[in-house]
Amino acid sequence: MNISHWPIEERPREKLLAQGASALSDAELLAIFLGSGSRGQTAVDLGRRLITAAGGLRALLVRSEPLPSVRGLGAAKSCRLQAVLEVARRCGGEELKRSDTLRTPLDSAGFLHTRMSAYPYEVFAVVFLDNRHRVIAFEELFRGTIDGTAVHPREVVRACLRHNAAAVIFAHNHPSGVAEPSESDRSITHELREALGLVGVRVLDHFVVGTGSQPVSMAQRGWL
């Protein structure tokens, strides 16, 4: 049944106008941006299928790959939705800007959580800083499976030299959702600190990002 045939109070647009955006389900919100469905499915049905295919709304928001291939999602709808998702990403987790100064763990924890918490695989990222701890760049260097990722100190050193960084902050996520650092996390941090020390780059912190709570700072734990 077409949405236009639904009771007025159940139609996404009318429901939003009457009750506010918070009253809509994830699929209903996507339906408003999609505009219409396709033969045999409403825009809400299409929204549900997209969320299911991506593994959840959060996974859809942080997705760096093309949108899932779902029946009814043509080029026009895909472009419209990708633009909306990018706006949501920019608003929800403002990019670290060049010249932003990171003085405490809290300065970067929120950004890292929004950027990395929903990945279904492990990602190792680096925030490159100058000698005043101002941001030069943020870069995801390694990606792995759900079980982990291989971090190569030589590649980290090379990236630091490419950015002419004086200091770095590391971050990686745990797809399990638990942000507790493991022994291997502490071990690779020590290995990276030793390697970067040879080229005069300081390791200020290493965050472990989960899905629920704020990222865990190894510096705050006294492990750096």
pLDDT tens per residue across span 94-143: 556 665 667 677 777 877 887 787 777 899 999 999 998 888 888 989 98
Instruction: Kindly state the DSSP code that residue 49 receives in the 8-state scheme.
Output: H
Last residue of a domain, one of 92, 123, 152: 92
Q: Does 97 reside within a domain?
A: no
Q: Based on the domain organization, do 114 and 34 belong to the same domain?
A: no
Percentages helix, strand, coil for the chain (3-state, rounded to 5) are 45, 15, 40
Q: Based on the domain organization, do 134 and 52 belong to the same domain?
A: no
Whether residue 39 is predicted with pLDDT greater than 60 in this model: the reply is yes
Q: Does 98 reside within a domain?
A: no
Q: Does 101 reside within a domain?
A: no
Q: Based on the domain organization, do 162 and 86 belong to the same domain?
A: no
Report the 10 Å Cβ neighbour count for 89. 17
Q: Does 163 reside within a domain?
A: yes
Q: Does 181 reside within a domain?
A: yes
Last residue of a domain, one of 62, 92, 122: 92
Mean pLDDT, the chain, as a whole number? 84
Q: Angle at Cα 213 formed by Cα 53 and Cα 26, nearest 5°?
A: 30
Q: Based on the domain organization, do 117 and 195 belong to the same domain?
A: yes
Whether residue 1 is predicted with pLDDT greater than 80 in this model: the reply is no
Q: Based on the domain organization, do 67 and 133 belong to the same domain?
A: no
The residue ranking higher by pLDDT, 92 or 206, is: 206
Residues of the chain with pLDDT > 90, as a percent, come to: 31
Q: Does 223 reside within a domain?
A: no
Residue 63 confidence (pLDDT): 67
What pLDDT, in 10s, does the model give residues 140-196? 899 886 566 789 999 999 999 999 999 999 999 998 888 889 999 999 999 999 999
Q: Are 138 and 125 in contact (CB under 8 A)?
A: yes
- Looking at the whole model, is its pTM more than 0.75? no
Please state the three-class secondary structure of 110-162 as a single string.
HHHHHHHCCCCCCEEEEEEECCCCEEEEEEEEEECECCECCCCHHHHHHHHHH
Q: Based on the domain organization, do 112 and 45 belong to the same domain?
A: no
- Residue whose C-alpha is closest to residue 141's, from 157, 153, 123, 120: 123
Residue 196 confidence (pLDDT): 97
CA 42 to chain centroid, in Å, comes to 29
Containing structural domain, residue 76: 3-92
Q: Based on the domain organization, do 119 and 51 belong to the same domain?
A: no
Averaged pLDDT for residues 62-71:
74
CATH code where residue 175 lies: 3.40.140.10
Q: Does 29 reside within a domain?
A: yes
Binning pLDDT at 50, 70 and 90, where does residue 76 land? confident
Compute the distance between CA of residue 124 and CA of residue 141 in angstroms, rounded to an integer: 6
Q: Based on the domain organization, do 152 and 174 belong to the same domain?
A: yes
Q: Based on the domain organization, do 86 and 111 belong to the same domain?
A: no
Q: Based on the domain organization, do 134 and 205 belong to the same domain?
A: yes
Residue 203 confidence (pLDDT): 96
Two structure tokens written together for 121: 């695989």
Whether residue 93 is predicted with pLDDT greater than 60 in this model: the reply is no
Q: Based on the domain organization, do 147 and 77 belong to the same domain?
A: no
Averaged pLDDT for residues 189-204:
96
Q: Does 100 reside within a domain?
A: no
Total domains, the chain: 2
Averaged pLDDT for residues 24-37:
86
Q: Based on the domain organization, do 75 and 127 belong to the same domain?
A: no
